[in-house]
Amino acid sequence: MMNFSTVPGALSRPLYFSFLQLKARPMNLSHRIVLLAFILVLKSAISCCADVPLNGLTEAEKRGGWKLLFDGKTTDGWRNYRKEEMGGGWAVADGVLERVNDGAGDIVTTEQFENFELSLEYRISKGGNSGLMFHVTENEPTPWMSGPEVQIQDNVDGHDPQKAGWLYQLYKPVKPAWATKFENQVGFKGIDVDDATRPVGQWNQIYLRISPRQCEVAVNGVSYYYFRKGEKEWDKRVAASKFAAFANFGKAKKGYICLQDHGNPVAFRNIKIRTLSDDGTVADPIDGQLPLRGTLAFPDLKWEGFEGVDENGKTRNIRPMSLTHAGDGSNRMFAGTQRGAIYVFSNTPEASQAKLFLDIREKVNDWKNDNEEGLLGLAFHPHYTQNGYLYVYYSSAEEPRVSIVSRFQASGNNPSIADPDSEQIVMKIPQPFSNHNGGSIAFGHDGCLYIGLGDGGGRNDPLGHGQNLKTWMGSILRIDVDNKQDGNNYAIPADNPFTDREGARPEIFAYGLRNVWRLTVDRKTGDIWAADVGQDFWEEVNIVRSGGNYGWSVREASYPFNNKPVEAIDAPIEPVWEYDHQIGKSITGGFVYRGTRLPELQGWYVYADFISGSIRALKYDAANGRVTQSRGIASTGLPVLAFGEDEAGELYYTLETVSGKGVYRIERVR
Ligand SMILES: [Ca+2]
Ligand SMILES: [Ca+2]
C-alpha cells in the first residue's frame, strides 16, 4: 500500500499540510466535510498507485532477492558499535528508526556483509550531519577509522564541505561522459556536480553498491559516481585523505553496515539490502524459461543495395528498427532500417530478396552520427488497401534535431514500391537533444495514430519535460490523420484527455515518459503497451491509459526520482512491470503475442533488454491488473533492436548485423 508521504509530488503534500492545520483547530461541520473529502482523495490516490511500501519490499525487490534490514517496528538486527545491545539513544516510532538522545552512538548491523547493494532513506535535521559506513570492523575506537563513509548532511545549512552522498574525502558526483556528449552537441550547459538531495524534513534515498566489478553510489535515483575499492585509483585517493593515518581504513573486504550518530537528529527507514555473488551478479528474477527460443527467420534474405560496407569500404551494419505488415492480405513483411530504407519481402522462410519499397535515406539523418536518430517508426494505415498510405517517423537530415512524422503513398500500379515524392508531412517535432527521440508509431483500434516520444534528451530530464503538458516531449501523442484541423495535416480526436486543460497540448494522450522504446497495440484487446527506458536504475513496462501520468521525471518506475521542484500534475501510475539495472539496462518493448503457431505464448507480452540481450515474456492478469509470471526465452544474447509482427500476429525481432541476417522469430525448442 502506498505511503503517501513518499509521493514526491505536491499532489499529496499540500493535502497533508491542510490536514495538519485542520487538526490544530476545533472542527466544525464544514471542516469535517473537508477532512472527509481529503480522506477520500487520499484513498483514491492510494488505489491508483501502489508506490514503494513503507519498510516493505516491492514485487521486483522480492523477486530480485532484496531483504529488509529494518522491520519498521523494532531495532532487531542492530546494536551499538562494539556493544552487544542497542542503547536508548535510538528509538523506533511510526516506522522510523530515529536518533532521539545525545550519546546515542553509532549503530551497526549484527550481520556482516561483503558484496551487496544497500538502499535506505534518511531524513536529516536542519544543519545536521550523519553517515552511512560499510565494511566496518570493530578493531578501531570508532567505525569511521575502518569503514568508508557515504556522507549524510543537510547540504544547505550543514558545515562540512563533504556533501550528502559523497564518499567522504574520496569520491564526489561525476557527470557521465554520455551526458556531456549530448550537452556539448547542442551547447547546453548542465550541472557539473549533482546535488539530488531534497530539503531538510524530507526523505532522501541513498543507494550503495559494493562489488568487485564496480561500486556505485546514487542519491534519489541519480547515479553519483563509480569506484573500485582497493584499486590503484582508490589507494591514491585514500593516501591523499585524512584516512591515510589509519592502516585499517577500507582494508576489510567484509564488515558491518554502520549508521552514524554525529550529534544531530537523524531518522532512517526503508533500509534494504541485496547480497551479491562473488562476481557481483544477482539472481535473475524470472520464473524459469519458456521452452521457446529465437531462430533466424529468413536465412537466405539479401537486402537490395546493401553490401555491408559504406562508400569508403568500411563495415556498415544494417539496423532494421521496424518490422511490420500492410494488413492487405498479401502476407508481405516490411522492414524499415534506421538509415532510411524501407524494404518489402514475402513472408516465407525461403524469402531471398528484400526489395527497396521506399528509399528516403536522403531525407533521414544518418544514425552513424547520432545513434538514437534515424528512421525509427513505420506504420501502415488501417485502410491501406483502399488508400495506400503508410506513415514514418524519422530524424530530418535537412533540419538538425527535428523529428518528422510523414505520410507516403504506395504506387497505384506497382504494389512493390511507394512514391518518394508522395510525402505529406503530418507533424514536425523539435528535439532539444539527439538522444531520447522516441519514434514508435502505431494505429490504435480507434483508428488514431499514436506517437511515442522521449523527454527530449540529455540526463535527468534537464528541461523538466516529463511533467509538463505544455510540451509534446515526454508524452504519447494521439492524432487523427484522416482529418485536418487548424492548418495541420491532422485533427485532434474529440475525446483526447487534455483538450480542456489550460495550456496543455491537445495532442497528448499520456505523459510522464522518459523514452518510449517501444509502443505497440495488443491486436486482440487494443491495449497500448509502452516500454519506457530508464536512466540509472529501473526499466519499466506500462499499459497506457488515456490521460495517464507515468511518473517521469518525478519517478523512475515506482521510485521517487531526483529533487527538482517539478510537481506531479496527476498521481503517477505505476508500471505493470519493472526490473533493475543489475538485470538489464535498456528495455526494448515488444508485443502481446496473438499468433497461432505458439498457443503457449498466447497473450504474453514479449520484450527484451538491449544491454543484457535477454528476451522475456510476461503473463499479465488483466482482471487484477498485475503480472503473474515472468519467464525467459532463449536467444543469441545479442542486443535486440526492435520487435515486429506479421499479418497473422506471429512475432519477430531484429538484430544489428553486417551480414543482413538479423531477423529472428520465436519458435518452440524441440
Ligand atoms: Ca558524516
Ligand atoms: Ca514510469
Q: At 188, which CATH number?
A: 2.60.120.560
Same domain flag for 26 and 157: no
Is the same domain home to 329 and 217?
no
- Number of separate domains in the chain: 3
Q: Is residue 60 part of a domain?
A: no
Cα-to-centroid distance, 62 and ligand 2 (Å): 19
Residue 564 has a pLDDT of 86
Tell me the helix, strand and coil percentages in the chain, rounded to 5: 10, 35, 55
| Ligand located closest to 561 CA | 2
The alpha carbon of 24 and the centre of ligand 1 are apart by a number of angstroms equal to: 36
32 and 86 share a domain? no
On the CB side of 596, how many CA atoms lie within 13 Å of its CA? 2
Distance 114 CA to ligand 1 centre (A): 22
Q: What pLDDT, on a 0 to 100 scale, did the predictor assign at position 1? A: 31
Whether residue 295 sits in one domain with residue 205: no
CATH of the domain at 625: 2.120.10.30
Mean pLDDT by 10 residues, the chain (670 residues): 31 27 38 44 38 92 96 98 96 98 97 98 98 97 98 97 98 95 93 94 97 96 97 98 98 98 98 94 92 97 94 92 98 98 98 98 91 96 98 97 98 94 98 95 98 96 96 98 98 98 97 98 98 98 98 96 88 96 97 97 98 97 95 95 98 97 95
Residue 524 lies in a domain: yes
pLDDT given at position 568? 86
Three-state DSSP state, 560: strand
The alpha carbon of 136 and the centre of ligand 1 are apart by a number of angstroms equal to: 15
Task: State whether 321 and 221 are in the same domain.
Answer: no
What is the CA 125 to chain-centroid distance, rounded? 32
Distance between Cα 131 and ligand 1 center (Å): 4
151 alpha carbon to ligand 1 midpoint, in Å? 5
Residues 234 and 294 in one domain: no
Nearest listed ligand to the Cα of residue 540? 2
Same domain flag for 110 and 166:
yes
Report d(CA 523, CA 431) in Å as an integer.
31
- 46 CA distance to ligand 1 middle (Å): 36
Residues 351 and 487 in one domain: yes
Q: Which amino acid is at 279?
A: D
Please check whether residues 569 and 660 belong to one and the same domain.
yes
Rounded distance from Cα 468 to ligand 2 centre (Å): 14
Q: What does the DSSP 8-state code read for residue 139?
A: S
What integer pLDDT is reported at residue 49 of this predicted model? 40
Residue 365 lies in a domain: yes
| 455 and 359 co-located in one domain | yes
The tens digit of pLDDT for each residue in 561-600 reads: 999 887 888 999 999 999 999 999 999 999 999 999 999 9
CA of 667 to the centre of ligand 2 (A): 31
Identify the pLDDT of residue 557: 97
Sign of CA dihedral 10, 15, 20, 25: positive
Domain boundary among 241, 275, 309: 275
Among the bound ligands, the one closest to the CA of 164:
1
Q: Which triple of cell numbers denotes residue 322?
A: 521496424
Check if the beta carbon of residue 305 is closer than 8 Å to that of residue 294: no
Q: What pLDDT is stored for residue 35 in this prediction?
A: 43
Q: Which three cell numbers stand for residue 222?
A: 541519480
Any domain includes 61: no
Q: In angstroms, rounded to a whole number, what is the distance separating the alpha carbons of residues 153 and 150?
A: 10
Phi, psi of 61 (to 5 degrees): -70, -40
Find residue 540's DSSP bridge partners: 532, 578
Residue 266 CA: which ligand is closest?
Answer: 1
Are the CB atoms for 197 and 153 separated by under 8 Å?
Answer: no
Which of 248, 275, 302 corresponds to the end of one domain? Answer: 275
The pLDDT of residue 32 is 47
Residues 6+ apart with CB under 8 A from 191: 175
Distance from the alpha carbon of residue 129 to the mean position of ligand 1, in angstroms: 5
Element (H, E) at 628: strand 626-634
The reported pLDDT for the residue numbered 280 is 86
Q: In this structure, is residue 384 part of a structural domain?
A: yes
User: Structural domain of residue 232, as residue ranges?
Assistant: 66-275
CA of residue 540 to ligand 2 center, whole Å: 7
Among candidates 399, 341, 398, 403, which has minimal Cα distance to 372? 403
Of the residues 224, 253, 275, the one at which a domain ends:
275
Residue 407 lies in a domain: yes
Which amino acid appears at position 641 of this protein? L
204 and 340 in a single domain? The answer is no
Q: Are residues 448 and 596 in the same domain?
A: yes
519 CA distance to ligand 2 middle (Å): 14
Has residue 497 been placed in a domain? yes
pLDDT at site 670: 83
Domain membership flag for residue 338: yes
